[in-house]
Structure 1
Amino acid sequence: MTTNDTPTVVLVHGAFADASSFARVIPELLADGLKVLAPAVPNRSLVGDSAYIASVVRRIPGPVVLVGHSYGGAVITVAAAEENVKALVYLAGYALEEGESLGELQGGFPDSELASALVYTPFPLEGGDGEGTDVSVEVDRLPAIFAADVDPGLARILAVTQRPLAAAAFGEPAPTAAWKTKPSWGIVARADRTLNPDVQRFGYRRAGATTVEVDSSHLVMLSHPECVADVIRAAVRSLNN
């Protein structure tokens, strides 16, 4: 296998987190000889974030497996339209339909505990053209809602280092849904108190994803890294079939 044939796994984090949320999965993938990239997602808009990840993917020689956690699932749904993306992996994520927003998909199911813990904070838009709104999670509630099965000390760190998501992203429709033409895998976090597991199941079923269920909090890649790595490996193996 040449260097350009070696798949690159691109790990896309979600809202209220950053690329360090993949810290326990990355060593597993590197040990397999895979190339791995975990870029920082701006978390400003679905279309803009997807365009940014697509630009990262376009610079990668060879095939890509695009992995998205939570909101990152919506991002990869759009960004995976890039030609060299060969498979998608959703981790407790949103698998949107074309023309569907996060709010629309989520709105068809009962709210999770997250809804009552959200904090809305204004921020200045670039160029001084008005204000936007950042969405984050109450610091003292994030550990239980977001990371109940993660080491408590780490969960407290995650609570104070969370990366907000601009509220505008919740209402933006996905301009495309790459799972319609590319194979996908999905992990349902059964004990998820951030994203209703039924939202995950519905999206994966609609996408025809190969699905695994894990008794996990929302941060499945920190609490069950071996399982996440195994699902990513299955997606990588499919490239040779």
Structure 2
Amino acid sequence: MSRSDSPTVVLIHGAFADASSFGRVIPELLARGLDVVAPAVPNRSLLGDSAYIASIVREIPGPVVLVGHSYGGAVITVAGAEDNVKALVYLAGYALEEGESLGELQGRFPDSDLATALVYSPFPIEGSTTPGTDVSVEIDKFPSIFAADVDPRIAAVLAVSQRPLAAQAFAEKAPEAAWKTKPSWGLVATADHTINPDVQRYGYERADMATVEVDSSHLVMLAHPERVIQLIEDAIRATAH
């Protein structure tokens, strides 16, 4: 496949993280001659974040393979409806149904260890006297819950550089589910203490995705980058024209 025929791989990070969580995947994708975009997700609201990512996707000439980790899976479920998105790849992610919220999907299954490690902090909203609520993870619990099989030095950096998720994002319902019309692939992190692996499996099975299971913590891109790259390449090959 020539570079001109190759899709752009757009990597969408999740809650409590940023695009650096793809730090071991991006160099390998670039080495394969692929164009890569790894935007910063605002993590303010599912609808707003999805609209922002959709606006980035629309500006990319040619086909896109949209990859979402964790909360990023919910974002690509909505933003993936853009015409030039040819495939969706979910990494330990939420594959929402149309009209479903994160809280509703997660509520179908027992809580993960994350539930008892969340920190809630007010933040100002411009033009409003009522503050919003940011959700983050207790710093000392972050490595074991999020990144148990990641280099401890990296996990420590990630713990203190979290990008919180506004609580509003948990309650907003997905207005559409792009997996209904786009080929999709899913990776289950079976040792995940952030999102119950059964939440991942349920969403993927409901969407009839091609699914792989990896013995990994939530941050599978840092713990097992080769498995993530393999799945992205599967999506690229299967949707090549």
- Pick the TM interval, shorter chain: over 0.9
1:123 equivalent to 2:123? Answer yes
2-side partners of 1:170 and 1:5: how far apart?
37
1:112 equivalent to 2:106? Answer no
- CA-CA distance at 1:2 after TM superposition: 6.6
2-side partners of 1:2 and 1:14: how far apart?
31
Segments of 5+ residues of structure 2 without an aligned counterpart are none
1-side partners of 2:210 and 2:195: how far apart?
19
Q: Deviations over 1:163-205 (max 9, x none)?
A: 0000000000000000001110010000000000000000000
TM (norm. structure 1) is 0.98
CA RMSD in angstroms comes to: 1.0
- CA-CA distance at 1:3 after TM superposition: 5.6
Check whether the contact 2:3–2:33 (CA below 8 A) recurs between aligned residues: no
Q: Secondary structure of the residue that 1:186 maps to in structure 2?
A: strand
**What does residue range 6-85 of structure 1 map to in structure 2 within 5 Å?**
6-85=6-85
Q: Secondary structure of the residue that 2:81 maps to in structure 1?
A: coil
**What does residue range 1-241 of structure 1 map to in structure 2 within 5 Å?**
4-240=4-240
Q: Return the letter of the residue paired with 2:152.
A: P
Check whether the contact 2:3–2:34 (CA below 8 A) recurs between aligned residues: no
- CA-CA distance at 1:82 after TM superposition: 0.2
Check whether the contact 1:4–1:61 (CA below 8 A) recurs between aligned residues: no
Q: Secondary structure of the residue that 1:17 maps to in structure 2?
A: coil
2-side partners of 1:153 and 1:221: how far apart?
16
1-side partners of 2:88 and 2:228: how far apart?
13
1-side partners of 2:182 and 2:67: how far apart?
13
Compared with structure 1, are the counterparts of its residues 68 and 131 closer, same or farther at alpha carbon in structure 2 (3 Å cutoff)? same
- CA-CA distance at 1:211 after TM superposition: 0.3
Q: Return the letter of the residue paired with 1:65.
A: V
Q: Deviations over 1:80-133 (max 9, x none)?
A: 000000000000000000000000000000000000000000000122442000
Q: Secondary structure of the residue that 2:236 maps to in structure 1?
A: helix
TM (norm. structure 2) is 0.98
- How many aligned residue pairs are there? 241
- CA-CA distance at 1:5 after TM superposition: 2.9
Equivalent pairs: percent with the same residue?
A: 76
Segments of 5+ residues of structure 1 without an aligned counterpart are none
Q: Deviations over 1:120-155 (max 9, x none)?
A: 000001224420000000000000000000001111
2-side partners of 1:199 and 1:129: how far apart?
36
